[in-house]
Each structure stands twice: as structure tokens, then as C-alpha cells.
Amino acid sequence: MSIMRVEGLRSILDTDLYKLTMQQAVARLYPRAQARYAFINRGGTPFPPGFARELGTLIREMGKLRLRPEERVWLERRCPYLTPAYLDFLEGYRFDPDEIHLEQAGGELTLFAEGYWYRAILWEVPLMALISELYFEMSGEGKGAWPEEERRRAAREKALLFRENGVRFVDFGTRRRFSYQNHRAVVEELKAAGDRFLGTSCVHLAHLNDLTPIGTQAHEWFQFHAAANGFLSANRAALEAWIEVYQGELGIALTDTYGTDNFLRTFDGRLARIFDGVRQDSGDPFAVLEKVVEHYRSLRIDPSAKTLVFSDSLDPQLVLKLHAACAGRIRDIYGIGTNLTNDAGVKPLNMVIKLVACRTSPQQPWVPAVKLSDDIGKHTGDRAMIELCRRTLGAA
């Protein structure tokens, strides 16, 4: 079977901004660290025959991608926190398909990415985007999607609803998009619908539309620091390292890698004043809202001067409820993913690619990297290490 419609990536920037910001930080602070990522099929969706073969072809094509001169000029203008040294490095970066292990047994797909962390870090987002688009093409599920104009209309109606209600939001949907073309169309509609749309996490589409690329750090940043420093020190080590690199820029801190309660115990007055706000990505968002507002107040910080970014499984109805709950209390922004880029009349894949092991240098042993989410169903990694983490932190 030959898949002609899935063309692969158009740009090395077809990824989320936090991959670039983390890559810069890793290259500066941990140039010898190594990382292993694994594909996790949470939904247990079977993949069609020949899927790994076709995906492998697209992965090999990724090796041809390079940062183009006009992309670098745009990054220099839009992302001043990316240093000339890093942009020089990115110009020379090439995906190495040999870093990927890929096989298929029946409908089960096995995929690992492994290498120096500063290199392997860029695989996750584009691989997920390719897996999603290729699945809908090869499985035939994509044939049931709505026509493009209907998908555009759905995005436009959401943007207008948010504008009418004063909701600021961002596209976070690169990883599980229905297709590249659909993602591009959605971003165009969101941009046309007004200034409540703040930008997109997808650097390539931000470039095409001259939007602000949005993002800071992901769970893997905290996972690595847990493996290197221990669970009790992970949050502080991760946040201090981020400050060392960015000096207060990119100031939204992720709360839930080892539970929001544990995070807030670390998030003292100094850190809470340096960072502009926090991001909620699991658990009850209303409960997290109350905890965050109260935490700022306990530190004698006005919560209304801080930002809370919600990014967990959002839809318009939930967004409006949260916006009402935040009114007058804290600045709120909504990072909406699948509901924007895969609201296409099909069932999106429930999948992730996560950091599962790392080491500080090739001479050190591999350490399992785990995530202890506010949702038990989102815990990821080695079971024994998850249990150790739970006991160490006194988590449920």
C-alpha cells in the first residue's frame, strides 16, 4: 500500500515551541545527557497493516529537513530569547532516523527514540503529528471526516464564541491534529476571528501566519530533574535551571509532573514572583484554580497579577465555565489542542510519546523517568519507580 496524501513535514519548525526552548536549555546545561522516549497507545487503537513501513518512510524523509534562512530571520524577530548560538546550532541540526526504533506486530505499534537529549528532544511532536495523520489516511477513518468548510466553520464559531466572552486562548493542537492541512486551515480561521486568539504552539504555522509562538517547558523537563536530583528536589531543580537559562522570560511553570500539591510546596515566594504564572494540565481544573489562587494569597501576592494557563482536555463549554470562575481573581488563558485541530467528525487517537528513561552522561546508568500526574490514569513510566515516587512524595 502506498500512501500519497500524507506528505510528511513541511518544515523543521513544524513542532511545538517548547521543544525548541527546552532544546536550547538542554544544549546549554546538559549537553552530555541522554534520553529515551516511548510511544504509548493509551487508547489501544490497532494500527492497519503496513503502518510502520509507511511511517518509517516519512521518518527517513525528516532527515532532509533544515532550518531555512527566512525561518531563522523570523525566529530572531519573534523569539528573542533564542540566542544566536542556539540558532546556529538549529541551522546545523538534522533529524537522524537511526535514533528511531520502529516495528509493528499485528495492530500493535512499537516506537522508541533514543540519543543525546539535545537531539532526541525534537522527535516527539512531529512523530505524533505524523502518526495521527497517517492513521486517519491508512485506516480509512479519515473518510468519515466532515468537509473542510465544515471544519473551518467549527473553528470559526469557537473563536467567535471566545471573542464574545473575552476568552484568551492559544492553539496547542499540533500533536494530535487530524492533518497538517486541517491544522493550517484552523489556525487561519482562528487568526481571522479576532485578537482573543493569542497564537499557536506550532512554530511553523506561527511563521506562516506571523503569529506569536507560545510555549515554555513540558513534563520531561521536570522528569529529567527528578531522575538527576531525586523526586523531592525535582521541581525546585527544574525551575531554578529554567531561570538560569531564561532569566524570567518564558515564565509559565508547569505544575503537575509530580502533583500540583507537591509543586506548590516548592513554589515559594521567590519562585512565585519570578514566574508569571502556572499551567494546569491534569486533575480537576476548578480545584487547581482554588489552590493556585489561595497559594498566591498565602505568599502575599495578588493573584489577579498572575496567569493561570489551562491546557487539559478543553472544550468550549468547559472553557466558559472556567473563565467565569476566574473572573476578577486571576488572569486566565486556555491552551486548546485536540478540540481545535481534530474536531473533524472522527475519533482522535489517545496517544502520547513520553520520556521513559534518561541519564546525565553516557557513563552513567539509565534511570527510569516517570510522571505522577494529578490524574492517576495519566501516570507514566516504570511501575516500580512510580510507586517509589508516590511513597517518597506521600502522594495518593
pLDDT for residue 2: 38
pLDDT for residue 8: 81
- Please calculate the CA angle 202-241-337 and round it to the nearest 5 degrees: 25
Domain regions of the chain by residue span: 148-341
pLDDT for residue 377: 77
- What is residue 327's three-state secondary structure? coil
* 10-residue stretch averages of pLDDT, the chain, 396 residues long: 64 98 98 98 97 98 97 98 98 98 98 98 98 97 96 97 98 98 98 95 98 96 97 98 98 97 97 98 97 98 98 97 98 98 97 97 97 87 94 88
Quick: pLDDT tens for 194-242: 899 999 999 999 999 999 999 999 999 999 999 999 999 999 999 999 9
Counting every residue written for the chain, the total comes to 396
pLDDT for residue 260: 97
Q: At 194, which amino acid appears?
A: G
Strands 169-171 and 197-200, bridge-based pairing:
parallel
pLDDT for residue 375: 87
Q: 298 phi and psi, to 5 degrees?
A: -65, -25
pLDDT for residue 3: 40
Q: Which residues have a Cβ under 8 Å from the Cβ of 124 and sit 6 or more positions away? A: 19, 37, 113, 175, 353
- CA–CA dist 173, 85 (Å, integer): 29
For the whole model, what pTM was predicted? 0.96
Q: Which CATH superfamily is domain 148-341 in?
A: nicotinate phosphoribosyltransferase (3.20.140.10)
DSSP 258-324: T-HHHHHHH--HHHHHHSSEEEE-SS-HHHHHHHHHHHHHHTT--GGGSEEEE-SS--HHHHHHHHH
- Are 252 and 309 in contact by the 8 Å Cβ rule? The answer is yes
